[in-house]
Amino acid sequence: MGKGYYVSTKVAICLGLAVIVIIVAVGLLAGLLPEKDQCDHKCDITTRAPIKSSTFEASTKPFPSTTTSEPSTPTPSQASYSYRLPPNVVPVHYNLELKPILDPETEGNYTFSGNVEILMNCEINTSTLFIHSHNLQYDDQISLFNAEGKELRITPKNDAKQQYLILELDDGNMESGESYTFKANFSGNLANDLSGFYRSEYVEDGKPKVMATSQMEPADARKAFPCFDEPEMKATFNVTLIHKCERVPLSNMPVSSSISITNDGWCATKFEQTPKMSTYLMAFIVSDFTFIEDNSTFLVRVFARKSEIKAGRAARALRVAKEVLDYFGTLFDFPYSLPKSDQIGIPDFAAGAMENWGLVTYRETALLYDKNESSESNKERVVSVIAHELTHQWFGDLVTIEWWSELWLNEGFATYFSYLGTNAVEPGWNFLQGFILDDFQRALLADSYSSSRPLSAPHESIVTPADMSSVFDDISYSKGGSILRMMNDILGNETFIKGLRTYVKELKYNNTNVHYLLGHLQEAVTDDVVKLPATVEEIFSNWTQQMGYPCVSINKSGIISQSHFLMNPTSNVTRISPHEYIWTIPIRWISSSTDETQTHWLRDKYNNMTIPQSDSWILLNAGAVGFYRVQYDDDLFSNLLTQLQLNHSVIPLENRAQLIDDTFNLATAGLMKIEDALDTTIYLVDESEYVPWQTAINNLGYINLMFSMSMSYGNLQTYMKKQIRKIYDDYHNFAVIPESHFDQYMQVSALSTACTYDIRECRTEAQKLFASMKNGSRENQIKANLRYIVYCNAIAAGGQAEWEFALEMYKKSSFSMEKAKILSALSCSKEPWILSRLLNYTLDESIIRKQDATKAIISVANNVVGQSLAWSFLKDQWNYIFQQYGIGAFSFSNLISGVTQRFSTSSELEELQDFKVNTPDFGSGTAAMDRAIEQTTTNIKWRKDNEERINIWLQDHIK
């Protein structure tokens, strides 16, 4: 690493473990992955009455906007050079039939075939028809008919780059106002690439099994069937699945009929007609799964592998899904709109879950729960992910974005309302506290770089499929949710929900953009309830149309000002803001003399607010709801620190966390002294609440990351042992689990941090527990909450024998949640050759599933011993990794960020820059690579400015 630093082998081991435990444990606690975010089955022989088309009539949009960014729509002659469909033809209805081949006699040559009829309306005369198609093969039966049934002469062409099947009319045009029908037979590979119509393989009862499943979002429906694969191109669908009769077919709607069609065991199952919907929400599954159900109001089912259902691991998901759907139906004053809601756990699944309308797909870790084997964070993840995906049944499925440039109108809603849904199902958890850690702070960090982007961007800024995948990020999810949370606070819950109810009702089965949302919220505002300084659109367009957020500064005279906060203030901000990086900021504040929140609006660069001069302290952004950071002058900041150390409970829990997080980030940006940030951690010896503690651990984890090869690390370790000692003593017993939700998280955090910073009895106990299991205990006696801590510490302190034992545990375990814990722990080894072996296993799907490969690589990179190995592996295997994950996988950006997060030297920056120059395409990871370079530049500056000063401060506070 950098010059001038030396660590012994013993210290290197400790450092590797330290980084791993902090980063991975935080990930285990967080519950919902970003994973996309960014969401099984048995033959349904239930016959339901056909749904009448009038049930799904689309409404008229109530707020046509003159300011909405329109899609870049090429003329027919240009369309083959554009990724956007021309507006000439729109779909009305699909008749679709698919037949996956899953039989053993295929000898691994898995394929599917199908045929489709698409009824279309011509809006603008055209001689060229463009239909999305990707990796599909066609026979000669491609045809186009007019409304009278006359077949038109066409010349089909394939545009592989833009993923089109192009039909050129040999004579004349398709005429505006007329309807046409496209027909085609097609086939494709049922690959294991986790996208489109694909296969998932698993072993059950010692036998290999294979299923066909699907993942269409954002642009992979075109891999399953030719279609108009854009969210605004909604249509109705009639789906038929051809399958072996013993298998279970599922799609978005209930089964209408199922009949035997051959003498050798093939059946045709037809499903009821869908409502008007987007292609990315279609789902098709053929498996031998089974299910449990609740049919008390409408049909809710949970499908999974037979062994999982038999073990009772789907029961919790069924209860949660039913309760969440009922809760949202009441909250939005619009009941769930389909006859059934299926949830299914897929063994191979790239995202965390997917909100397919009526057939929601999940990773097994996000759906299946075992009371003896699952941790508290696993339990939370099941509830929150289900709540997230079922929010989408209204926000995303019923009301769908016009284009991917405003994905936050899907994912931001699902993020925020997943907290409300979870809170409704588990009121005793006090779950809304977790928003501060898991989304609010995450969003502030992600949005603090010049490489960030606005929530709502011009449609033409998102063009290619890689562009579409790239917006499934912390901006769409966590910032989107944070802005909605702020909207709720400013407008009040009654007004906010009132506006959302009309938004849902008037836009049902239609498409939306941000102007429709703000228009409905404005309609709900009444002056006698909500006092606003401007219209809803004027206030919130500042927050949706420009990237970043403000830093609000205040001095003891009450002068407040705002400026665009950047982690590296010297960054070159090239993105032009329509609002010149000025925000309309609602400043909620409290002081020592009152608990009642007051509001001051800051709409310009600066103004004055009246603050009580006699108060001992004043606190801005009460409740940490406003999406901004606060910088106090020295006197006001000193007053807050004094109060923290005298009686921290006087300051609200959310603001204790906010004060720590803001100060550390302001110090990184050079706006406050790093010593001030460290001062906010002194009071932690008396703090017992999880959210402030974990905020401090996360921010100190950055110092840990930067110090991991520095001789200053020992002082950090000594300080943290001193600070964590009391909370560790409260929770040190590995055999006793607290009752409350956040107390259990506090125990995990306390033990993880204690082991990380080398409280010996913590590590000794972890190693003893692992050894007892390794030496013949038939059952795993380690509490599920604490297994990762035990596994990781034992593997780090042990050698090949401990690692091999854990690897065998991983291979033998059939429960996905346990496998995830073990896989993360395998990266804790201190042996470079073992970590290299683990990296190579990510190329072998028989050991590490493709869905878990990027996580394993990142875990190795989090280990100080493995960081350079992971970086070299990424470069050496770039072509393979990019082919597998670079275009559509939601995890690809995380891979680039995770492998480079420790970079903090000029030589590492040069390596990154050279890699970018010499690599032709980063696909969906393009923005992540830009941020990695910016982050490395920030890390270099941070170390130069702060490392010596931090070491001096630590020396002064460990005496």
Total Cβ atoms within 10 A of residue 192? 15
DSSP string, 93-151: EEEEEEEEE--GGGTT--EEEEEEEEEEEESS-BSEEEEE-SS-EEEEEEEEEETT-PE
Report d(CA 352, CA 472) in Å as an integer. 12
For residue 241, being part of any structural domain is answered with no
Q: What's the pLDDT score for residue 17?
A: 41
869 with 832: CB under 8 angstroms? yes
DSSP state of 943: H
Q: Is 196 helix (H, G, I), strand (E, B) or coil?
A: strand
Report d(CA 939, CA 793) in Å as an integer. 28
Strand partners, 128: 168
Strand partners, 145: 151, 181
Report d(CA 73, CA 88) in Å as an integer. 9
Strand partners, 277: 235
For residue 662, being part of any structural domain is answered with no
For residue 666, being part of any structural domain is answered with no
Q: What's the pLDDT score for residue 895?
A: 92
Report d(CA 561, CA 37) in Å as an integer. 35
Q: Kindly compute the dihedral angle of the four CA atoms of residues 563, 566, 572, 573, in this order, to the nearest 10 degrees.
A: -60
Q: Indicate left, alpha or beta for 758 from its phi (over 0: left) and psi (-120 to 50: alpha).
A: left
273 with 130: CB under 8 angstroms? no
For residue 888, being part of any structural domain is answered with yes
Buried b (16+ CB within 10 A) or exposed e, 246-264: ebbbbbbbbbbebeeeeee
Half-sphere exposure of 373 (CA within 13 A, CB side): 19
Q: Kindly compute the dihedral angle of the four CA atoms of residues 272, 292, 787, 753, in this order, to the nearest 10 degrees.
A: 60
> Is residue 389 annotated as part of the catalytic site, yes or no?
yes
Report d(CA 671, CA 668) in Å as an integer. 8
* Total residues found in the chain within this entry: 959
For residue 628, being part of any structural domain is answered with no
499 with 524: CB under 8 angstroms? yes
Structure tokens at 911: 């390596």
Report d(CA 228, CA 131) in Å as an integer. 6
CA angle 377, 687, 683 (to 5 degrees): 135
Nearest to 538 by CA among 601, 587, 589: 601
127 with 117: CB under 8 angstroms? no
Instruction: Please list, in sequence order, all residues whose beta carbon lies within 8 angstroms of the beta carbon of residue 111, skipping any fewer than 6 positions away.
Output: 100, 101, 187, 188, 189, 190
Q: Is 784 helix (H, G, I), strand (E, B) or coil?
A: helix
DSSP state of 69: P
Nearest to 623 by CA among 646, 589, 591: 589
DSSP string, 703-757: HHHHHTTSTTHHHHHHHHHHHHHHHHHHH--TT---SSHHHHHHHHHHHHHHHHT
779 residue type, one letter = E
For residue 514, being part of any structural domain is answered with no
Instruction: Please list, in sequence order, all residues whose beta carbon lies within 8 angstroms of the beta carbon of residue 265, skipping any fewer than 6 positions away.
Output: 244, 245, 246
Instruction: Please list, in sequence order, all residues whose beta carbon lies within 8 angstroms of the beta carbon of residue 900, skipping any fewer than 6 positions away.
Output: 871, 908, 912, 932, 935, 936
CATH assignment of the domain containing 708? 1.25.50.20
Residue bearing tokens 């960030």: 452
Q: Which helix (H) or strand (E) holds 883?
A: helix 878-885
Please give the residue range of the domain that contains residue 14.
9-30+681-957
Catalytic position from the list 376, 389, 406, 908: 389
Averaged pLDDT in 10-residue chunks for the chain of 959 residues: 35 40 37 33 28 38 43 38 87 98 76 97 97 95 95 95 95 96 97 94 92 97 98 98 97 98 95 98 98 95 97 97 98 98 96 96 97 95 98 98 97 98 97 97 96 92 91 96 98 97 98 98 89 95 97 96 95 91 97 90 94 91 98 97 96 97 97 97 96 97 90 92 96 96 97 95 95 78 95 96 95 92 96 97 92 93 94 93 72 88 94 92 86 92 93 93
For residue 773, being part of any structural domain is answered with yes
Half-sphere exposure of 172 (CA within 13 A, CB side): 7
Q: Is 334 helix (H, G, I), strand (E, B) or coil?
A: coil
Structure tokens at 267: 């059946």
CA angle 350, 352, 357 (to 5 degrees): 100
CA distances (Å), 409 to each of 3, 23, 282, 511, 777, in order?
Answer: 48, 30, 19, 11, 51
Query: How distant is the alpha carbon of residue 650 from its chain centre?
Result: 34
Q: Is 631 helix (H, G, I), strand (E, B) or coil?
A: strand
In the chain, how many domains are there? Answer: 1
Total Cβ atoms within 10 A of residue 656? 27
For residue 929, being part of any structural domain is answered with yes
Q: Where are the beta strands (DSSP E) in 615-738?
A: 618-620, 629-632
